Chains A and B, each alone.
Chain A
Amino acid sequence: MANPATLASTFAAKQPVHDRLDDGPHGPRPKRSFSRANIFLYGTLALVSIYYLLPLYVMLVTSVKGMPEIRMGNVFAPPMEVTFEPWVKAWAEACTGVNCDGLSRGFWNSVRILIPSVLLSITIALISGYALSKWKFKGSETFFTILIIGAFIPYQVMLYPIVIMLRDTGGFLTDIWQATCGVFTSAEGSCRGRIQLFGSLSGLVIVHSIFGMPILVLLFRNYFASIPDELFKAARVDGAGFWGILFRIMLPMSMPILVVAMILQVTGIWNDFLFGVVYTRAEQYPMTVQLNNIVNSVQGVKEYNVNMAATLLTGLVPLTIYFFSGKLFVRGIAAGAVKG
């Protein structure tokens, strides 16, 4: 087709673009990097960053100074002589009122609390959220509402009732254990054991799991509600049941929300102080309580460098988690946004 229009356009395509254009604006609009809006935006960002990073800087610097250097009073000055002794001391030797093995004891206690609590709470919330969004039963909405109301009741109100509940449940379980124990074993004295929930790590794990429930169930329910019902119906037609759909259809699609739930729970439980100090005994205190006891124990000189190192050590776990999963976290939060 020797149509003049097609000829013109094929011809033009062979030439550099600017030859075809008149003078004057063409192409992408140039952007000025030092516009007033940009200066204001980045200026504010820089200011806020400094505001938040300064304390971290002071802590880091102080934690690697020796005590004589700290006494000179120059808080912002970089260390003249870098020493990691305060870190070692904070980890292994610092004294609380009760013991002198530093933060390490608290760290391992926290790990022992954290892992079962996170697994237990996420498992239960995952199943509940799935049931509440895809297997609605009569009263499931009411049940969910009650659960959410639980999130708005201040912890202080429940603190003491839970002490009683843990104590009595422990006693009740002990009674059952001792009454039925003879059925399983005839060994002498094997039935003397007591089940203790109050003042034990298992009790604290249960408390953490329960208190994580409202927000986690909300998170999972909303996430599953956003998965189309037709997918769920298709799986039912394909013969999958409650667990089959959960494990083979829903769970593989739930990575983002699982990450969010994990971050929420890990940071929440790791940073918990109140439950840790109320429901456990001195030798089981989690890291946060141990940190407090180290920082606040007054024996002679206040070792600021050790305190700083201890604080940084305690904050390291949530910090690492945020650092590595920040992007996933934002994605998951958006996915679990309140719907239906």
Chain B
Amino acid sequence: MNEMTKVDAGHSVEIRHLDLQFGAVEVLKDLNLDIHEGEFLVLLGSSGCGKSTLLNCIAGLLEVTAGQIIIKGKNVTWAEPSERGIGMVFQSYALYPQMTVKGNLSFGLKNARVPKAEIEKRVARAAEILQIEPLLDRKPGALSGGQRQRVAIGRALVRDVDVFLFDEPLSNLDAKLRAELRVELKRLHNQLENTMIYVTHDQVEAMTLADRIAIMRGGKIMQLGSPDEIYNRPQNRYVADFIGSPSMNFIDGRLEGGVFTSGELRLPMEGYEYAAPQVSDGPATIGIRPEHVVTGELAASAPVQTEVLVELVEPMGSDTLVYTELAGERFRIRMDGQAVVHAGDRLPIGLVPAKASMFDKSSEVRL
């Protein structure tokens, strides 16, 4: 990381018009992505969206059909994985079972014919950063899941790479350990300031770790933006639906003269930031996050007030999920954990149009 002087905030990884086909199946299609120096980029999507495939292309483990991959200003489209300045961490850790932790860490360096003293130095440093010094002489079989993943990260660390690639590195760990390692990864990124590309299907990991998130679907990037943008201003209905748990409530209706109507429901869209300066009237879908519904005493002061019938209550400790119906659609509300609500109650709620998201009904693009 000595060469990693941050003189320019230039691009670390550039992907230009990338195509990948497996036989007749197009997995990636005309994909463009610029990743900044020192950025933590998360590729997020459900399985089969092409996120791992894209990572494998960047790593050089898959041959691309068309397009270019540029890492640190060098065109590496045809380069071997080891020549790209990348380190990769896999979901299954992929530690070499017959080697000790030390052997695992130094394998790549030996292949690169790094002098022995230098190998010792770098292994010691990585072990210190990851706190795995006492484990150096153990075999991977004698390590716990969390320790194994640390070693796997160390294997990328010792090679002094420009870009770290993570392929769902925490998916094999139990929930508690996952949360711990997530924090550690973030700390590591702050410490190393390397570019990191991280594939996951877990939106919590994406939201907490990322500088920017790229949400992928069917080999295309649906939206690229900061966690805040992705959460608050989803560019299309897919992204809006994908991010957030429980997911966003959608109500189909019409937008006319700045007012969204659906059956009984009338929402004057005051304070809503339209994506385009000119919005024509027509069929639209409004999305309201369960946590953006105002309840209790504050409901009365919200711009739009209505009342819903409680169907089902799911107490979750920290908060309570309330299942209701609004304008003929299923409508979920997230309330405080202390809230006292019972099925069959009539619940007064307040809606804030400024916090909602509106989409064109047919194109599903944000209005």
Contact = CB atoms under 8 A, between A and B. Distances in A.
Interface string A247-264: 011001100000000000
A237 interface: yes
Interface of A: 228, 230-231, 233-240, 244, 248-249, 252-253
A239 B81 CA distance: 7
B283 interface: no
Contacts of B91: 230
B296 interface: no
A1 to B, nearest CB: 24
7 contacts: A230-B94, A231-B96, A233-B59, A234-B155, A240-B107, A248-B107, A252-B98
Contacts, number: 60
The 8 closest A-B pairs by CB, nearest first: A239-B82, A238-B108, A239-B111, A230-B94, A234-B94, A252-B98, A230-B90, A237-B81
Nearest to B90: A230
Interface string B125-161: 0000000000000000000000000001001000100
A234 B81 CA distance: 10
A238 B89 CA distance: 11
B86 A237 contact: yes
Contact of A231 (B56, B94, B159): B94
B90 A236 contact: no
Contacts of B111: 238-240, 244
Interface of B: 56, 59-61, 80-82, 86-88, 90-92, 94-98, 107-108, 111-112, 152, 155, 159, 167
Given A234-B155, A237-B87, A237-B108, A253 B94 contact: no
B197 to A, nearest CB: 13
A240 B98 CA distance: 16
A248 B96 CA distance: 9
A235 B88 CA distance: 10
Contacts of A244: 111
Given A239-B108, A239-B111, A244-B111, A234 B98 contact: no
A253 B97 contact: yes
A236 B82 contact: yes
Given A230-B90, A230-B92, A253-B97, A238 B61 contact: no
A234 to B, nearest CB: 4
A236 B59 CA distance: 10
Nearest to B86: A237
Contacts of B94: 228, 230-231, 233-234
B82 A234 contact: no
Given A244-B111, A252-B98, A236 B92 contact: no
A327 B63 CA distance: 43
A303 B233 CA distance: 97
Contacts of B86: 237
A253 B95 CA distance: 12
A151 B205 CA distance: 51
Given A233-B59, A234-B90, A239 B98 contact: no
A134 B132 CA distance: 31
B105 to A, nearest CB: 10
Contacts of A231: 94-96
Nearest to B156: A237
Given A236-B61, A240-B82, 4 more contacts: A230-B91, A230-B92, A236-B80, A238-B159
Nearest to A251: B98
A237 B88 contact: yes
B216 to A, nearest CB: 20
A142 to B, nearest CB: 15
Given A233-B59, A233-B61, A238 B92 contact: no
A240 B88 CA distance: 14
**Residue among A231, A235, A239 facing the most chain B CB atoms (10 A cut-off):** A239
A237 B190 CA distance: 24
A228 B159 CA distance: 23
A257 to B, nearest CB: 14
A235 B112 contact: no
Contacts of B108: 237-239
A236 B98 contact: no
Contacts of B56: 233
A230 B199 CA distance: 15
A244 B112 CA distance: 12
Nearest to B97: A253
A230 B88 CA distance: 10
A224 to B, nearest CB: 14
A244 B81 CA distance: 14
Given A230-B90, A230-B91, A240-B111, A235 B61 contact: no
B112 A239 contact: yes
Nearest to B84: A237
B112 A234 contact: no
Nearest to A252: B98
A237 B96 contact: no
B67 to A, nearest CB: 21
A236 B61 CA distance: 8
B98 A233 contact: no
A238 B90 CA distance: 13
B206 to A, nearest CB: 21
Contacts of B90: 230, 233-234
**Residue among A230, A234, A235, A249 facing the most chain B CB atoms (10 A cut-off):** A234
A304 to B, nearest CB: 52
A248 B107 CA distance: 9
Contacts of A234: 88, 90, 94-96, 152, 155
A238 B98 contact: no
Contacts of B61: 233, 236-237
Contacts of B80: 236, 239
Contacts of B96: 231, 234-235, 249
